[in-house]
């Protein structure tokens, strides 16, 4: 069942519920979103979902659907459920952290990565720049090799430094977790802080995001949406789903963040307002956010990427059929996504744990359908 709200100010959460919408008013221009989500849950695409549509500092629609957990017993989904954000970590934390260092003059986008991490130059990586990492044109493989039982951050760092490109730098778009593991290491090297500590002090606290973090406290266990069973047949709940991040003890530049809908609404509203030059606590300059969310890939390449953000690639299903080419966003493997339209200060947030319990859920079509319907609904406003 959906929880529908009228136009509520960002951050008001459940206090802004509009009674007419809460009664499932059939005239609501967003009612089609409820149908799309309910159908996806019924068809087993995901056990449940939390979602929202925002525009110009207002949250226009919220939905809560299905279940947070199916095993070992069913638990209804709730608005305050915490989700494993998976690769949204890249754009919510790591890319902005790098760009904060860029604003301070500590990082240059077209400088070789080995300027900051000298050992990275090994095995043909000396021409890879920070920009190529951020746009996924580095030439590196999609992920570190997990075929051997390595464990620990230092083991991961060594594998990053030893990695060999599979393509010449700048030649092809290949989405790579290694890129953002490396960027996280740059943040740690230049800041002198662990990535999670840096993120808390420089991104999360300035935005007052109290329910967004790496390494969730065990007291939050019951509020977290579980994902899959691990290699020891233990259900992952409050432990990061991504196997590489798990081997790195839960904190990495490419995955590991947990968050909830209210915090993501705050983040999205603040980012869009700041990008538009409006009052906002977002801890980057407007021109930096424009740089991050406009095409920055090598010249002549058709896979369009910003600095972290996706613009137009085969990962862009959350754009739907009607949001403009100027929009941008990102997805997470667990079933999370955020797509933003700066021209209208609009966004669509979808949080699911589609991998629960057996990894067979699929929300690619759901993301596209929701974005398409949301764009059409917004046109009627």
In a domain, 136, yes or no: no
Identify the weakest region by mean pLDDT among 27-31, 221-225, 365-369: 27-31
pLDDT, residue 17, reads 31
In a domain, 183, yes or no: no
Q: Is the pLDDT of residue 23 over 50?
A: no
Mean per-residue pLDDT of the chain = 93
pLDDT, residue 350, reads 99
pLDDT, residue 381, reads 60
pLDDT, residue 28, reads 84
Confidence of residue 176 (pLDDT cuts 50, 70, 90): very high
Average pLDDT over residues 342-357: 98
Q: Return phi, psi of residue 56, to 5°.
A: 50, 45
Q: CA dist 151 to 113, 187, 248, Å? A: 24, 21, 7
Q: pTM, whole model, 2 decimals?
A: 0.93
Average pLDDT over residues 157-178: 98
* Domain membership of residue 42 as a residue range: 8-84+258-379
In a domain, 332, yes or no: yes
In a domain, 270, yes or no: yes
Q: Return phi, psi of residue 253, to 5°.
A: -75, -15
Q: What is the CATH number of the domain that holds 334?
A: 3.40.710.10
In a domain, 148, yes or no: no
Confidence of residue 237 (pLDDT cuts 50, 70, 90): very high
User: Which element (helix H / strand E) includes 76?
Assistant: strand 75-76
Going 161 to 183 to 220 to 352, the CA torsion angle's sign is negative
In angstroms, the CA 112 to CA 126 distance is 7
In a domain, 330, yes or no: yes
pLDDT, residue 9, reads 34
In a domain, 16, yes or no: yes
| pLDDT tens, position by position, 37-80 | 999 999 999 999 999 999 999 999 999 999 999 999 999 999 99
What the block records as the tokens of 360 is 């067979």
Structurally, how many domains does the chain consist of?
Answer: 1
In a domain, 186, yes or no: no
Q: Nearest to residue 142, comparing CAs of 101, 113, 175?
A: 175
Share of the chain above pLDDT 70, in %: 93
pLDDT, residue 380, reads 79
DSSP string, 208-236: T-TT-EES--GGGGGGBPP--B-TTSPBP
pLDDT, residue 26, reads 43
């Amino acid at each position: 069942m959906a929880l529908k709200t009228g136009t509520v100010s960002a951050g008001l959460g459940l206090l802004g519920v509009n009674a007419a919408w809460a009664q499932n008013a059939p005239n609501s221009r967003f009612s089609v979103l409820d149908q799309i989500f309910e159908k996806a849950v019924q068809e087993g695409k995901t056990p449940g979902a939390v979602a929202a549509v925002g525009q110009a500092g207002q949250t226009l629609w919220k939905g809560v659907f299905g279940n947070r957990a199916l095993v070992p017993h069913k638990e209804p989904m709730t608005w305050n459920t915490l989700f494993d954000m998976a690769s949204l970590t890249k754009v919510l934390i790591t890319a902005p952290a790098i760009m904060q260092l860029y604003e301070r003059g500590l990082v240059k986008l077209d400088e070789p990565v080995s300027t900051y991490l000298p050992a990275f130059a090994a095995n043909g990586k000396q021409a890879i720049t920070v920009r190529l990492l951020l746009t996924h044109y580095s030439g590196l493989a999609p992920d570190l090799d997990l075929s051997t039982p390595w464990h620990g951050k230092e083991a991961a760092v060594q594998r990053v430094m030893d990695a060999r490109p599979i393509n010449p730098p700048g030649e092809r778009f290949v989405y790579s977790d290694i890129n953002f593991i490396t960027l996280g290491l740059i943040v740690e090297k230049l800041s002198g802080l662990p990535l999670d500590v840096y993120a808390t002090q420089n991104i999360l606290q300035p935005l007052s995001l109290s329910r967004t973090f790496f390494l969730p406290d065990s007291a939050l266990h019951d509020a977290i949406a579980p994902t899959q069973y691990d290699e020891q047949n233990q259900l992952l709940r409050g432990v990061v789903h991504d196997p590489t991040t798990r081997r790195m003890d839960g904190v990495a530049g490419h995955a590991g963040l947990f968050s909830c809908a209210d915090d993501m609404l705050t983040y999205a509203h603040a980012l869009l307002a700041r990008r538009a030059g409006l009052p906002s606590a977002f801890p980057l300059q407007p021109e930096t956010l424009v740089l991050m969310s406009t095409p920055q890939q090598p010249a002549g390449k058709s896979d369009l990427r910003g600095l972290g953000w996706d613009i137009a690639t085969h990962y862009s299903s959350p754009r739907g059929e009607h949001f403009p080419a100027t929009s941008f966003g990102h997805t997470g493997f667990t079933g999370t996504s955020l797509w933003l339209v700066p021209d209208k200060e609009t966004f669509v947030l979808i949080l699911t744990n589609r991998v629960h319990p057996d990894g067979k859920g699929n929300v690619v079509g759901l993301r596209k359908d929701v974005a398409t319907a949301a764009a059409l609904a917004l046109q009627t406003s």
